Amino acid sequence: MAKKTVHVVPRDGSWAVKTAGASRAAKVTSTQADAIERGRQIAVNNNTELIVHRKDGTIRSKDSYGDDPFPPRDTEQ
């Protein structure tokens, strides 16, 4: 079974941590930083990827916490 990606997405003025395919958010926070922290914990525990979105829904960043044999070069500053 494929591992589910964890997303940090905007939700009605707050931020939600949601696993791909889930009908409900794992956590809803008031700040994006809190949501990223919780999303990172979930992604590390599940050895999967964390994708953080901006307020407009576009992707802000991606981090992989799995065992990737060919990890991408990190271009974020």
Q: Is the pTM of this model over 0.85?
A: no
Q: State the Cα–Cα distance between residues 44 and 75, nearest whole angstrom.
A: 21
- Establish if 76 belongs to a structural domain: no
Q: How confident is the model at residue 46 (pLDDT cuts 50, 70, 90)?
A: very high
- Establish if 64 belongs to a structural domain: no
Averaged pLDDT of the chain: 89
Assess whether pLDDT exceeds 90 at residue 2: no
* Span 9-42, pLDDT tens digits: 999 999 999 999 999 999 999 999 999 999 999 9
- Establish if 13 belongs to a structural domain: yes
Q: State the Cα–Cα distance between residues 26 and 4, nearest whole angstrom.
A: 13
Q: State the Cα–Cα distance between residues 19 and 40, nearest whole angstrom.
A: 12
Q: State the Cα–Cα distance between residues 42 and 24, nearest whole angstrom.
A: 15
Element (H, E) at 32: helix 32-46
Domain membership of residue 19 as a residue range: 6-58
Number of domains comprising the chain: 1
Cβ contact 72:61 at 8 Å: no
